[in-house]
Structure 1
Amino acid sequence: MKSYFITGLLVLVPLTITVWVLSTLIGLMDQSLLLLPHQWRPIEQFGREVPGLGAILTLLIIFGTGLIATNFFGKQVILLWENLLGRVPVVKSIYNSVKQVSDTLFSDSGNAFRKALLVQYPRQGSWTIAFLTGQPGGDVANHLQGEYVSVYVPTTPNPTSGFFLMMPTADVIELDMSVDEALKYIISMGVVAPPVKTPIITNSTI
């Protein structure tokens, strides 16, 4: 009986969490329907709500925004919009900060979260996985002697919260695993370990 119960948990828990995350995400994306005129909304057209329709609208808005932003006219509009926001004191600081973070995280040329690292945290002898986010900048770099890197140490099982640290380059170890593998390792609390990669040995003749 105990083995059946555990087996049932192993099947249902991941499935339940996956369904819950997807339903929550779709529910949030469905809020985009509020952008439509009241007479165009599903409740008026079909007499009831249609789950997922807002998610499709959200994806279309994102795709359309990206399509417009890639042409000359769209770039000029975005530049004009950013200049307008740059004249509002509080909005300027918030927008620029968020834009810098998003550009770093999602841009193909960005280096954030491109490498998984092994660091000692929160004390010597305790090791955890971190992600490289860049190098210290601004006045902070003037007070650090030697080579330092900026790292993000995520918490488990929720990697969206964590700690930002600046550590000596000599104290971090670059891991031979992808960011996705490292995230799975963190979220599973070390249960789902990445496969060990062995070097390929080839026979060569001199």
Structure 2
Amino acid sequence: MAGGCCGGCETPKDKTRDKAWRRALWIALTINGAMFVLEIGAGLSARSAALRADALDFLGDTANYAISLSVAGLALQWRARAALAKGISLVLLACWVLGSTVWMIMAHALPAAGTMGAVGFVALLANMACALLLWRHREGDANRRSVWICSRNDAIGNLAVVAAALGVFGTGTGWPDLIVAAILGCLGLWGGTQIIRHARAELHEDHFAPQ
């Protein structure tokens, strides 16, 4: 998510039809979708803003993989429209994460460090599995490279969640959780706006392109 181009970039038709690439995307999509459900539930039950923010990242990647699979080979206008919808949804979800973080600051909620650490570790394993799965495709076109980079960066984000859990446990306060959540939420907001800007530029170019 943080890279702002996880699976939304244009790819040559012959590349997107590669069976191994599509199979890897389907597996990564399934893993990310399942982790979103797990983390959003754990984040709500454990009152962890960082887990909710990381769940947003999994949802964003799931949408990116789905878009990469569904609109590959279609006209630029359709790909740009799909990316625009993705960007808007990411911005809305990022605003929700930031809003819930502010609410938790005001409520002085203390997250469950044990749940944070356990779920964060599972999320780290999931993203490492996706990164290893996509490793063989990292030298492909821009779309493939961006997916690999996002998976790698997501694993780094999961390390931040685990570190936040340790910080909550060590300090007895919720500030480490809130700080990590704010950072991840801001990254999601930035990534969503970048996607929207790029999609609008592509729609503008396609509208004025010679027929």
TM class, shorter-length: under 0.3
Structure with the larger strand share: 1
Larger radius of gyration: 1
Structure number with greater CO (CA < 8 Å, separation at least 6) is 2
TM-score in terms of structure 2 length: 0.23
Structure with the larger helix share: 2
TM-score in terms of structure 1 length: 0.23
